[in-house]
Structure 1
Amino acid sequence: MNKIEDILSATADTLAERGYHETNLESIAERLDLTKATLYHYFSSKDDLVTASLAWVGIQVNEQMAQVNLDPEAPAADQLRFLIRTQLKVVVRERRQAARLFLYPLDWPEPHRGHVKQLRQEHDQIFRSVIERGLATGQFAVDDEATALHCLHGAMNYVPVWFRAKRAKDYERMYETMSGSLLRLFTPAQ
């Protein structure tokens, strides 16, 4: 990572741990072993830094998720399973702070609230497009699409709270178990 990415990552970690109001430039600078003046060299204010950090995390996650959705010919169930597995990898291993930053509600001031909402909607649309295709083709059946989608996101984003791996294979087992269990939210009853 370069210095700006280090700053954005440390900011995201601090925001996820402390929330917006308890995060300050001193705590971010201390985390990076930098001076506050160094942060001001790159960002003019806390709000500029927070905006950049949210965009950095949100765009990275959304781009990673959108890549999963490339093959419109793949069965919707396979795509949804892979989306779930990818989301779990993101929130458990790669970008743990992402789940916390984009949960609702957080204590974001109004200018940030809209940005977070937009990033969440983009993320949601990636899942929604696969689910809608599965519903249209009869691969999926749900009583209420919005409720099933909320349950899906809630379950995936709660995994970092309870999951603790002891070995590398524990991750793979959890990805498989969770994706299979969550996929059942959308599969027709037999």
Structure 2
Amino acid sequence: MSTVEVVDEEGPGRVERRRNRKVLDILTATADVLAERGYHQTNLDEIAERLDLTKASLYHYFPSKDELVTACLEWVGKLVNDRLMATAQNREGTASERLTALIRVQLDSIVREHPQMAQLFLQPLDWPESYRERTKELRKEHDEAFRTVIRDGIASGEFVVEDESTAVHCLHGAMNYVPVWFRAKRKKDYETMYETTAASLLRLFRPPAP
């Protein structure tokens, strides 16, 4: 399966920028349908209808369902993973501050920016085998961003955990459940949620107070 490259929206020409915006619209709609329907129930007709496009127009951008789904997974997965890894690799601040920043990126991604991510990567879908391996790889990249900071905290003595994997699974489980219970009434509710959730989850890694 080939991967369709999404060009930076600040491209040199109007036609290129317009095409890129259309591609992003298609990928977003595809992610929505996949999250709602699963792979086998996703069809190009519904995606085209949501975008008010003809099916022929959709084929102009993506020649097949497999190419569209592949591009969608790569777009969502890499977009979030790149943000997380850039945050993890920023060595400024303590391990607690860096982990707090990672938690904020993750929550912002699954609650506000890319809520489809929780379904596409964190919940089991009816993926064909060819897609399962790639989703596993993207989940592993995602997981490694957090483990990088947690290991730094353990090495410095800032974090104390009995089992790294158990702590990481608990962390992810708590973060990924936030979209189920969180409902924002005002814009500042997001900031409050980020702060309180991060503060609570850091207790998984900090040693108990004497």
Shorter-normalised TM-score: what interval? over 0.9
Shift of 1:73: 4.4
1:160 lines up with 2:156 in the alignment? no
Larger Rg: 2
Structure 1: runs of 5 or more not aligned = none
Structure 2: runs of 5 or more not aligned = 1-19
Matched-pair identity in %: 64
Q: Distance in 2 between matches of 1:151 and 1:36?
A: 43
> Residues 75-86 of structure 1: matches in 2 within 5 Å?
75-86=94-105
Greater relative contact order (CA < 8 Å, ≥ 6 in sequence)? 1
1:109 lines up with 2:120 in the alignment? no
1:20 aligns to what? 39
* Matched letter for residue 107 of structure 1: D
Output the aligned Cα RMSD: 1.1
Q: Given the two structures, how large is their TM-score scaled by the length of structure 2?
A: 0.87
Shift of 1:114: 0.8
* Matched letter for residue 133 of structure 1: D
1:189 aligns to what? 208
Shift of 1:158: 1.3
2:159 aligns to what? 140
Q: Given the two structures, how large is their TM-score scaled by the length of structure 1?
A: 0.96
Shift of 1:68: 1.2
1:88 aligns to what? 107
**Which one of 132, 153, 170 corresponds to residue 151 of structure 1?**
170
* Matched letter for residue 55 of structure 1: E
1:176 lines up with 2:210 in the alignment? no
- Residues 142-179 of structure 1: CA distance to partner in whole angstroms, max 9, x if unpaired? 11110110111111111111110001111111101100
- Residues 58-93 of structure 1: CA distance to partner in whole angstroms, max 9, x if unpaired? 111011112212332421111001100111011111
1:34 lines up with 2:53 in the alignment? yes
* Matched letter for residue 63 of structure 1: D
* Matched letter for residue 135 of structure 2: V
